[in-house]
Chains A and B, each alone.
Chain A
Amino acid sequence: MSYQRPVFKDQYENYIGGKWVPPVDGNYFEDTSPIDGELVTRIPQSNSKDIDLAIDAAWEAAATWSKSTAAERSMLLFRIADRIEENIEQIAVVETCDNGKGIRETLGADLPLVIDEFRYFAGCIRTEAGSVTHIDPELVSMEVHEPLGVVGAIIPWNFPLLMAAWKIVPALATGNCMVLKPAEQTPVSILIMLEIIGDLLPPGVLNVVNGFGAEAGKSLASHPGIKKIAFTGETTTGRLISQYASENIIPVSLELGGKSPNIFLESVMAEDDEFLDKAIEGLVLFALNQGQVCTCPSRALIQESIYEKFMAKCLPRVAAITMGDPYELTTMMGAQASNDQHQKIMSYLDIGKQEGAELLCGGNVFNHDQYPGGYYIEPTVFKGHNKMRIFQEEIFGPVLSVTTFKDEAEALEIANDTLYGLGSGVWTRDIHQAQNFIDGIEAGRVWVNCYHVYPSGASFGGYKNSGIGRENHHMMLNNYRNTKNVLVSYNKNKMGFF
């Protein structure tokens, strides 16, 4: 089945206080689709004046929204989930157009996960409560939760709606209002989603201001009117945002990527069965979303004893990746998100070749007959060693770096020899061996006999340079609120000091 490129308005505006508001200075930038390189629409190039308007609108809404009941907020989140689900195809095809990923992924992963995120937190906030403790028989301590007020979020372009949902949903669930800046490569899908769900939201609870990082992003991150900032992106901007947050003394959560190891132990080849088939797919998952995933399993560590036989099964599966029309459901890999991303990936293909890595497949631009103006790269597999830059730096493309290990100890050493610690995968039929890796890997997520599964309720975040904080779990609720302790004395007698 094939979908069509969506039809867009010529121009979109910011979403502030429940209204579509043109940028104060009247500037717009052109949003193009990486699928064909053609214009999508014009998007506000906002600056600090627009951020000020959005933050004012958010605080105005916060006066009421922060007093709303959990039942009201939960019902709103459920209604939004239902509305998105009713319009899933329309939103998914926009996401595909703006980001370049295949419609099979936006329909099968991005949007279903967005919907589930709303339902998960809608459920969480009805079941949780603060706590009451009798410190002694006449002294009662209450831990009471209060929303922070207005929070900021800066969203990446690799999962534009899902990463937005991971921040919007816990913020709204806890009674906060939000000002959100999408990535400039993928600014439009959240605007289309707001056209669909906007009437459900109280005005000002969610505000979206588009623009460039140096203008709108910096204004948001450094604004004294936000009480928390959440960011997904890279390390230098993460440091800059932390720096701004420190100036305002507000909490910051950062998710900054990784170079995730995917470890295949010899027992995966013990049988020729459905599990081996699953493990092979597990290696090929480096190509999901064209490799533009923070947890991309971009380092495959394969036990020496099975290397030849296992790779002999994996490489044909890589070769079988279809790169057709991203609007077609059978297409497995779409376009890289932008020209600069495409060029950067090419620079790493060059570095890999210069470093002497062995090219096992791919390694080139993919010339797309139907879309010669789009940004496509062949799924690529290098063999090398873990000290090479293609093993140490996040390429954010469909590029897998494969190496071998002798035993468990060496596998763990290689797995942890990285600046990052976001994702990891372990494939084995031996549960004791799996446990050793679960204990030994320094990463926020260990997938055992699976990979790239992101259910709501499974926390997500990094060790080491991969960031600070977790998302996608009810523990997030406390990241978006203050805790007020109330001590109540039922003792009528004075303390006796004075």
Chain B
Amino acid sequence: MASEEFEEGGYVERVSITPAAEKVIDQLREKHGELMFHQSGGCCDGTAPMCFAIDDFKIGARDVCLGEIHGCKFYMGGDQFEYYKNCETIVDVVAGRGASFSLEIPLGLRFLTTSRLYEDAELDRVRSVAVA
């Protein structure tokens, strides 16, 4: 799917994950197999990451892959990415109950993204995204 492979080393990541969220991925992977993320937009439980079994959610031609977290590709809509270009997206997990199809919700948990604006010096070293 990716037309451009990620290069190794020396890059500032676009997406990262907290250890607590990694543990939840491990737990979900046992039950659902390989996983992926898609950052949602819009109302209610939007502007939050959704975790699905790989192949359940159909990646669109205009989605972009920001990178991989704990072995899961992390996508978002290309239009939405325009506003995430200057931020590192950090996937964390909190207690909660979002009303979406994201797989962690039955555990009483909800993935959450926080953001860190890149320093000017980092901007030209940010990893390029893969276009679906």
Contact = CB atoms under 8 A, between A and B. Distances in A.
Contacts, number: 167
Contact of A466 (B42, B44, B80, B115): B42
A243 B87 CA distance: 30
For chain A, what secondary structure do more than half of its interface residues adopt (helix, strand, loop), or is it mixed? mixed
A170 B96 CA distance: 32
A237 B47 contact: no
Interface in B106-130: 106, 108, 110, 112-117
Given A343-B94, A350-B114, A218 B42 contact: no
Interface of A: 29, 45, 156-158, 183-185, 212-215, 217-218, 232-240, 243, 255-258, 292, 294, 338-341, 343-344, 347-348, 350-351, 354-355, 387, 389, 392-396, 419-420, 465-466
B114 A340 contact: no
B64 interface: no
Contact of A340 (B42, B46, B110): B110
B100 A237 contact: yes
A236 B100 CA distance: 9
A257 B42 CA distance: 5
26 contacts: A29-B108, A158-B43, A184-B97, A184-B98, A184-B99, A214-B101, A214-B106, A234-B43, A234-B46, A235-B40, A237-B45, A237-B101, A239-B58, A240-B101, A256-B43, A257-B44, A257-B46, A294-B44, A338-B96, A341-B98, A347-B115, A351-B115, A389-B84, A393-B46, A393-B47, A466-B42
Given A234-B44, A347-B113, A185 B97 contact: yes
Contacts of B77: 235, 419
A214 B44 contact: no
Given A238-B42, A339-B94, A394-B47, A214 B105 contact: yes
Interface string B23-47: 0000000000000001111111111
Interface string B44-58: 111110101000111
A343 B56 CA distance: 27
A239 B43 CA distance: 14
A354 B101 contact: no
B95 interface: yes
Contact of B101 (A157, A213, A294): A213
A387 B41 contact: no
Nearest to A156: B44
A466 B50 CA distance: 18
B79 interface: yes
B42 A243 contact: no
Contacts of A392: 83
Contacts of A215: 106
B103 interface: yes
Nearest to A390: B83
Contacts of A234: 40-48, 100
